[in-house]
Amino acid sequence: MSISPDEITEEYIREVHGGIGIDLRTSLIEWESYGWRAGGVPDRKIQEFAGPFSVNGAGLALGDPTNDWSEAQIMTSIFEDTGVQAQLRLPRQIRVDDASSYGPGNLWKDTTRPRFWPHVMLLTGYDINGPIGITRGKKQAMTWGFLKQYCLGVFRVVKGPRT
């Protein structure tokens, strides 16, 4: 069962907080407790989630470098848990409303820019460069270095029977 663009927009508007974007941990707590409407079906819940975990030595999640996940742990969770949710702060030069800076053929690899845009992505795969996520309905590839630089934390999410 697919979630419609209107349902996505409705949920985003409900969860966005004063221009700072969605707080992924708060969103996952709600998804686990109350569920979301998807495909016209209410109360679609996840079974559980864990995180945030920092990415491979970055130590950004919770400010605790001992709370790190390696590239291998991220890849395993993508495979076993049907994806990993990532809370990002993208550089200003990447605008998800500008197709020239994201989507197929636009590998995110430059790690020299400061963090700016709040963004959440579902990482659904990986290749030789690094993880691949879904944003604005398009696949987005990035390097592991990019993920490490701009990711504030990743979350392992286990789908529920009605997710």
Q: What is the pLDDT of residue 135?
A: 83
> Buried (b) or exposed (e) across 114-132, using 16+ Cβ within 10 A?
eeebbbbbebeebeeebbb
The pLDDT tens digits for 52-101 are: 888 876 656 555 666 788 889 999 999 888 789 999 989 988 876 666 77
Domain range for residue 84? Answer: 48-158
The answer to the question of residue 11 being in a domain is no
pTM, whole model, 2 decimals?
0.81
Per-residue pLDDT, averaged over 141-152, amounts to 93
As for how many domains the chain has, the answer is 1
The answer to the question of residue 55 being in a domain is yes
| Tokens, residue 10 | 């409705």
The answer to the question of residue 35 being in a domain is no
Nearest to 135 by CA among 82, 81, 97: 97
